[in-house]
Structure 1
Amino acid sequence: MTSSERMKVRAPELRGRRWLNTGGTELTLAGLRGRIVVLDFWTFCCVNCLHALDELRAVEEEFGDVLTIIGVHSPKFVHEAEPAAVEAAVERYGVEHPVLDDPELATWDAYAARAWPTLAVIDPDGFVVARMAGEGHGPGLAALVRELVEQHGDRLRRGDGPYVPPPAAQTALRFPGKVVALPGGTYLVSDTAHHQLVELAADLETELRRIGDGTRGFTDGAAATARFSEPQGLLVLDAPAPGASAPSSSVLVADTVNHAIRRVDLADGAASTVAGTGSQLRDRVAPGAGATELSSPWDLAWWDGRVVVAMAGSHQLWTLDPDTGTATVLAGTTNEGLRDGSFADAFLAQPSGLAADGPVLWVADSEISALRRVVAEPEAGPQVGTAVGQGLFDFGHRDGPAAEALLQHPLGVAVLPDGSVAVADTYNGAVRRYDPASATVSTLADGLAEPSDLLVDGETLIVVESAAHRLVRLPIPAGSLTRGSQVGGTAHTVRRTPTELGPELTLRIGFTPPAGQHLDDRFGDPTSLTVAADPPGLLLAGDGTATGLTRTLRLDPSVGSGVLQVAVAAAACDDAPDGTSETFAACHRYQQDWGIPVVVSAVGSPELDLDLRSV
């Protein structure tokens, strides 16, 4: 089916608070007539959105003379609606197209977006011709743009788009991510937005050396020429036993956007690749299984005699053998959410910070604003449990009993000398403290600029203050027993209009493979649909995982409201050159999770339609 044969819907005009990356010019769809426009609904907490940004870069480069990509920043967290935070995120993640700041979700609602990220494709006449939810759409989007170029031909407005780069910022560090202490009393910090590692003296300011040439890339070799892409977590490897293959005094690096684990030899700064290919893992990998590709590794820790990787992109914890590069899933199903249980059953959501304390591994589980506890062989309770956190859509800054306390997108964690846990509560700009003995949460410090990591250093706590582009020291309360100051509690939920649904309904996922691809069912149904609810009692029938893109659901009117959680995956393969489907060419995985606030009503809709890729 060609674009001209599709049902066309006039694209709603773009409305928001302000424009970024346009030099102060306000854009309109009317003013962009003649160009192909792609709207990218994103929010900067969302790792899937960051994956989509990376995919869009190649499309922008190929079609820049006829295509305008516009990021519509539609915040989930309260912090993400702050103007300075949006500006920082646009720079931090290298967004090189116009961005509409939409804190009230006006344009989000106008386009009926339901998930981060969502893409809407608008043709040169101003009509919406496609919608795509989730990540993995880069090749399909390119094929669609190519089709639109062929269809509209000479009618297209060619030339440079409306992007105007902001003035280049000048600071020694730029959005640093993580820090580790090195032998000899110095510190290594991941200078994330500069795509480098920096060794600092004890004053946390004096630079001793830089590793990496500062250009985004994936290159092994000498310190002066190696390249990284938004590196994050760091882990010092102990000197190996005699005869071991690993070099002594080296550091593992979570090279996040390269989807790789790198090793840096501290003697000369040379970088090599331990695991990862540079391509993002697209397949679902269950606990106990291994894979060659990784997905946005964010932090690293020694625990239970092995290296653990916070695999934020697949919502899992993995283990890594630094000698062989073998990477294996430890915990998590790839479903994004908060569910305690065994390694095989637990849900995580963008784990981004790790700290080990004997048999316990503490995890900053960012997207559910939670502190998770992992135990290999628990005497009681689940292997993966929750110390603090309520779920995907509940967050805030509230101290007190841990069952009621709230965080906001934490990225770092450290174990204090008394066994309590300090949390870099990133979007609250605070350092929080969880006391396992009393199961309470308090605030140690606030007023910080997006703290992203913590390191215990004697009687002080080193804080990576990412949005202030620096590292600072805070005193650890004497004996680590002081509970810190109690702050007035605030609680928030995601601001999205609930969908009114009837108690009996049909869920349908729209998926049309891109031109040149097909659903290959020779080996069975290549789709997977998972449905759950929070609270669980909301969903009386239709939960669980099965093949197919349609499901009959039954909701409980007595529960009244909650969040319907839907996860879908579909695989499509390239067509054979002769147009048949009998081919062993490349296949592509498309996937997305939705968390949809719903209200159950007798007059609610009997249908819920979600688009994975609809054209």
Structure 2
Amino acid sequence: MEWINTKGPLELKDLKGKFVLLDFWTYCCINCMHILPELKKLEHDYANQLVVIGVHSAKFENEKEAENISEAVLRYEIEHPVVNDNQLKIWSTYYVNSWPTMFLIDPEGNVVFLHRGEFKAEEVRKLLDGAIPYYRKTGSLDETPIQFDLLAYSQEPTPLRFPGKVLADEKSNRLFIADSNHNRIVIASLDGQLQEVIGSGEIGSADGDYATTQFDHPQGMALVEDTLYVADTENHLLRKINLKEKKVETIAGLGRQGTSNESWPGLRENASVNSLPHRFVGRPKTTAINSPWALWPHRDSLYIAMAGPHQIWKMKLNETQIGPYAGNGREDIVDGPQLPSIPYQQGYSSFAQPSGLTSDGNSLFVADSEGSSIRIVPFDSDDAVNTLIGTSNLPANRLFTFGDVDGPRGVAKLQHPLDVCYVDGIVYTADTYNNKIKAVDAATGNVITVAGTGKPGTADKPAQFDEPAGLSYANGKLYIADTNNHLIRVLDLKSKEVSTLKIEGLKPLPVKKKPESVAGTTEK
């Protein structure tokens, strides 16, 4: 099999004497993303006793390619070996049936722990702390350090690093770029002249001025007059940037991932139906949120694609309340009334990792990525959620039906779209895993490809992209975050020509360097 983040294939016998944690994952999965920081904590704290191996068992066709997995390894800053299990052979051997799934193997080769779903490092830490003294005593624990040949060590510096979302503002002639893996926001003119850089580049959550403030892989943005709102995704925060005073402030979230109960603010533990709140709302600064991915302002509110709990949330712009607006919290593509009165109640709308937002003024259009669908969420909360294009009409496999097919609503298929942008009756869509930009008629659902050959690349003619994830419109042009290419591309909607926008004055940031070998270290 193909191996990534290591010099060559690994076998369990090569790791005799180590605890080995097998993480079955696929890189589209928000739950898999959530445990990567937990794995990193364990890798660092037990560097001499534990080896983590990611078993990448793909959901989407695009995820089966080793090159795409390598980009995901770099984007998520993974520091352990990953094997490409694209035929699900290891998956089947271990009887895995969901992402993520984790197995812990002891130094003698025995599976000693199994966990399905998300977990915290503390759960594994308790097991290791209890077990390590026993294996030391028996002499079966090998505590020789292992240093892996990570992909990150061979990367060239780039001005942008995996840009996630873009926001073009025609009125002020500004382009806002979520330079996600540089943990900052870049502001340029629409023709590419650098104006500001917001953020030190270091991962963190510090508020303050542009130079010292910190983000953690920010994504979506929304502009309201002189205020830029930012979905600080991996901090599980919403941030507010005063563009006049050049100050950054945290306005929502606790700086940690919200739990399933916290997806319903005001819900008490073991609450009965009779004690449920009338509305699930809380104060923004005391309410935990979960992977906010995209933002859209409308009237007095900010709408949030909350990818973690598979919901659309709403926050008052006066920052008095925040809570779910649509979605019963079940990961699915189901149409119906917007929000249940009881958490997870069936018969209401379901989303599957919503990741992009746009609007025609009457409704939100949502890029519902895991169901490869575009959803419609009316601003009238009494109106039902519908699907513009996608899988809601299927009796089964709604999260596993995808493709690259243009045509009318009942025929067309997308593959993991991550953003949408409404312009004059058309919902332009970043069809991310098909490496294309598509146009979806907002009235009929008819789909056509407007740019992209489907093959990853950087060419302008014919246009190629590599997992584009962000779209925004200004002056007759679509601005595209071409994520894996570390570029901003521009699509002229009249001529259909694509160009690459250079951000003049933006300097590359240093990349991760390989540490010097330590005596006695094994290199793999």
User: Which TM class, normalised by the smaller chain length?
Assistant: 0.7 to 0.9
Consecutive unaligned residues of structure 1, counting only runs of 5 or more, are: 1-16, 239-248, 481-615
Larger mean CA deviation between 429-438 and 147-156 belongs to 147-156
Match for residue 148 of structure 2 among 143, 159, 163: 163
Whether 2:177 is the aligned partner of 1:189: answer yes
- TM superposition score normalised by structure 1: 0.70
- Bigger fraction of residues in strand: 1
Structure 1 CA distance, aligned partners of 2:408 and 2:317? 39
2:440 corresponds to which residue? 434
Distance 1:373 1:58, change over 3 A: same
Structure 1 residue 121, shift from structure 2 partner: 0.4
Choose the corresponding residue for 2:239, options 258, 262, 279.
Answer: 262
Question: Pick from 344, 366, 370: which aligns with 2:369?
Answer: 366
The correspondence of residues 405-484 of structure 1 with structure 2, limited to 5 A, is 405-417=412-424, 419-446=425-452, 447-477=464-494
Aligned residues with identical type, % of pairs: 37
The secondary structure found in structure 1 opposite 2:403 is: strand
* Equivalent position of 1:273 in the other structure: 250
Q: Match of 1:513? A: none
Q: Residue 51 of structure 1: CA displacement?
A: 0.1
1:398, CA displacement in angstroms?
A: 0.8
The 1-side partners of 2:320 and 2:115 are apart by: 35
Partner secondary structure for residue 400 of structure 1: coil
Secondary structure class of the residue paired with 1:97: coil
Q: CA deviation at 1:432?
A: 1.1
Cα distance change on mapping 1:235 and 1:376 into 2, 3 Å: closer
Of residues 395, 403, 423 in structure 2, which corresponds to 1:396? 403
Could you report, residue by residue, the CA deviation over 1:396-417 in whole angstroms, capped at 9, with x for unpaired residues?
Answer: 0111111221100001100112
Indicate the SS of the match to 1:407: coil
Residue of structure 2 equivalent to 1:386: 387
Displacement of 1:90 after TM fit?
0.2
Residue 84 of structure 1 deviates from its aligned partner by: 1.6
Aligned residues: 448
Within 1, Cα distance between the matches of 2:81 and 2:246?
Answer: 37
In structure 2, what residue type is equivalent to 1:260?
L
Cα distance in 1, alignment partners of residues 129 and 219 from structure 2:
36
Distance 1:18 1:354 in 2: 36
From 283, 287, 308, the equivalent of 2:260 is 283
Name the SS of the counterpart of 2:260 in structure 1: coil
Distance 1:460 1:108 in 2: 44
For 1:266 and 1:378, locate their aligned partners in 2 and report how far apart those are by CA, in whole Å.
Answer: 32
Partner of 2:343: none
Structure 2 counterpart of 1:518: none
Deviation, 1:445, is 1.1
Q: Aligned residue for 2:378? A: 375
Give the equivalent residue in structure 1 for 2:505. none
Whether 1:94 and 2:77 are equivalent positions in the alignment is yes
Indicate the residue corresponding to 2:295 in structure 1.
300
Q: Distance in 2 between matches of 1:471 and 1:66?
A: 42
The worse-fitting range, judged by mean Cα deviation, of 335-344 and 206-215 is 206-215
Distance 1:226 1:375, change over 3 A: same
Q: Which amino acid aligns with 1:436?
A: A
In structure 2, which of residues 58, 64, 70 is the aligned counterpart of residue 75 of structure 1?
58
Sort the Cα spacing of 1:168 and 1:159 in 2 relative to 1 into closer, same or farther, 3 A. farther
AA aligned to 2:174 is T
- SS for the counterpart of 1:372 is strand
2:318 to 323, 327, 338: 323
Report deviation, 1:268.
4.6
- Unmatched segments (≥5 aa) in structure 2: 266-278, 340-347, 392-397, 453-463, 497-524
SS at match of 2:129: helix
- Structure 1 residues 21 and 357: alpha-carbon distance in aligned structure 2, compared to 1, 3 A threshold: same
1:222 and 2:209 aligned: yes
- Higher relative CO (Cα under 8 Å, sequence separation at least 6) belongs to 2
Question: Would the aligned equivalents of 1:177 and 1:464 in 2 still touch at CA under 8 Å?
Answer: yes
Q: Secondary structure at the match of 2:208?
A: coil
Question: What letter corresponds to residue 466 of structure 1 in structure 2?
Answer: T
Larger-gyration structure (1/2): 1
**TM-superposed deviation, 1:304:** 5.3
Structure 1 stretch 104-113 or stretch 430-439: which is displaced more? 430-439
Shift of residue 367 of structure 1?
Answer: 0.5
Say if 1:378 and 1:318 are closer, same or farther in 2 by CA, change over 3 A: closer
Q: Spell out, residue by residue over 1:359-397, the C-alpha distance to the aligned partner (whole angstroms, 9 max, x if none).
A: 111000000000000113389xx5211111122000001
TM-score, normalized by length of structure 2? 0.82
In 2, Cα distance between equivalents of 1:164 and 1:264: 39
Q: Would the aligned equivalents of 1:98 and 1:162 in 2 still touch at CA under 8 Å? A: no
Q: Distance in 1 between matches of 2:314 and 2:445?
A: 29
Secondary structure of 1:397's counterpart equals: coil
Does structure 2 retain, via aligned residues, the 8 Å contact 1:320–1:326? yes
RMSD: 1.8
TM-aligned CA deviation for residue 169 of structure 1: 3.0
